[in-house]
């Protein structure tokens, strides 16, 4: 199987390169990028080929592409890839508007290509254990959830409202919403949000607080923010506390780590040793077209997560709760 990467605007692209190279029987063919200097730097680092255009990459002998471009470019690159008959793994969020997201779902379905969303948190062992606890009844009825997704401000296209579709809220809400939908097989039915800019001098929001009502009767709060300082030892966290009628579970998805404190500089180091969720994400993508089946994370999952983020922006603007169908 042969894979190409479309754009290195999103830093997750580097993790996907590593994942591709660890998969047996999978070849990383090369990269294309609208920013040729960025593309060349990525190609040099990955020791692979830079294609001069996205079209040139799609004309190459490849089976699928990973789209890690700015959010607003996802639809255009998806439509190009689908027309070329290439399977697609798309970075989150799926798009910046529901119109674009639904168009992406339609074009890939009609072209008969696989489309998978990049929600790697599903492949973290602690998340999978929480799902087991819910599925086997250990949690009981879910009453309350509290989630956080804190990180460092990434800069680049992420702070361009047109290219990203927003700031920290659209960037960090979708991961946690997808986990909740997947584990508990529930949908968000109401969103109330307050968002602001408290940490950085940027054009987008860098923090917010979402209050969510789920159709299973549970109540949830979510703090998606770029509140970590630039020199923080890791990029952030993804955390979920679940209160059930039988037990309480807490999942800190980045805690599979080794913390080292010593003399010299840096005197504090953080090493991640746990399971590689990006590897299993890319493996699922490749397996879906190897086995000619639908990926486990679909465009519909991307759309439902995006709905919540966009409803948060609407709620913050109107200062009213927003109901979702």
Whole-angstrom Cα distance, residue 71 to residue 95? 5
Residue 41 pLDDT more than 90?
yes
Q: What is the DSSP string of 76-134?
A: HHHHHHHHTT-EEEEPSSS-SSHHHHHHHHHHHHHHT--EEE--GGGGSHHHHHHHHHH
**Would you call 269 exposed, middle or buried from its count of C-beta atoms within 10 A (0-12, 13-18, 19+)?**
exposed
Q: What is the pLDDT of residues 157-204, one digit of tens each?
A: 999 999 999 999 999 999 999 999 999 999 999 999 999 999 999 999
- Residue from 272, 293, 170 nearest 225 by CA: 170
**Would you call 253 exposed, middle or buried from its count of C-beta atoms within 10 A (0-12, 13-18, 19+)?**
buried
Residue 269 pLDDT more than 70?
no
The encoded tokens of residue 240 equal 């979920």
Residue 17 pLDDT more than 80?
yes
Query: What is the average per-residue pLDDT within 37-41?
Result: 97
Name the 3-class secondary structure at 160. Answer: coil
Percentage of the residues of the chain whose pLDDT score is greater than 70: 96
How much is the pTM?
A: 0.94
| pLDDT class of 33 with cuts at 50, 70, 90 | very high
**Neighbouring residues of 106: CB distance < 8 A, sequence distance ≥ 6:** none
Query: What is the average per-residue pLDDT within 25-29?
Result: 96
Residue 132 pLDDT more than 90?
yes
Per-residue model confidence (pLDDT) at position 267: 66
Q: Going from the N-terminus, what domains does the chain have, and what CATH number goes with each?
A: 2-113 (3.40.50.720), 121-274+305-323 (3.30.360.10)
Per-residue model confidence (pLDDT) at position 254: 77
Residue 260 pLDDT more than 80?
no
Percentage of the residues of the chain whose pLDDT score is greater than 90: 89
Whole-angstrom Cα distance, residue 202 to residue 129? 38
| pLDDT class of 262 with cuts at 50, 70, 90 | confident
Q: What is the pLDDT of residues 208-248, one digit of tens each?
A: 999 999 999 999 999 999 999 887 767 778 999 999 999 99
């Amino acid at each position: 199987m042969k894979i190409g990467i479309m754009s290195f605007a999103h830093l997750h692209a580097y993790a996907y390169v590593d994942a591709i190279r660890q998969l047996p029987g999978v070849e990383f063919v090369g990269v294309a990028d609208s920013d040729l200097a960025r593309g060349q730097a990525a190609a040099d680092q990955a020791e692979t080929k830079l294609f001069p255009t996205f079209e040139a990459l799609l004309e190459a002998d490849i089976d699928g592409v990973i789209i890690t471009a700015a959010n607003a470019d996802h639809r255009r690159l998806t439509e190009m890839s689908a027309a070329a008959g290439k399977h697609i793994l798309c970075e989150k969020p799926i798009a910046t508007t529901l119109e674009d997201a639904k168009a992406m779902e339609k074009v890939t379905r009609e072209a008969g290509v696989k489309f998978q969303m990049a929600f790697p948190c599903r492949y973290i062992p602690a998340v999978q254990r929480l799902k087991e606890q819910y599925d086997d009844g250990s949690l009981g009825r879910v009453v309350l959830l509290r989630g956080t997704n804190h990180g460092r401000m990434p800069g680049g296209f992420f702070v361009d409202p047109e290219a990203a579709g927003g700031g920290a809220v659209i960037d960090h809400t979708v991961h946690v919403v997808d986990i909740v939908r997947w584990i508990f097989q529930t949908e968000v039915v109401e969103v109330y949000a307050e968002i602001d800019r408290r940490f950085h001098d940027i054009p987008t929001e860098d923090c917010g607080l979402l209050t969510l009502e789920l159709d299973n009767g549970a109540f949830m709060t979510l703090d998606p923010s770029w509140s970590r300082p630039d020199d923080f030892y890791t990029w952030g966290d993804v955390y979920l506390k679940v209160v059930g009628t039988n037990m309480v579970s807490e999942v800190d998805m980045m805690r599979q780590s080794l913390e080292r404190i010593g003399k010299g500089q840096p005197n504090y180091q953080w090493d991640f040793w746990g399971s590689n969720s990006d590897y299993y994400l890319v493996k699922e993508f490749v397996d879906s077209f190897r086995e000619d089946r639908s990926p486990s994370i679909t465009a519909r999952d991307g759309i439902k997560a995006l709905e919540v983020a966009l409803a948060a922006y609407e709620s913050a603007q109107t200062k009213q709760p927003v109901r979702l169908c």
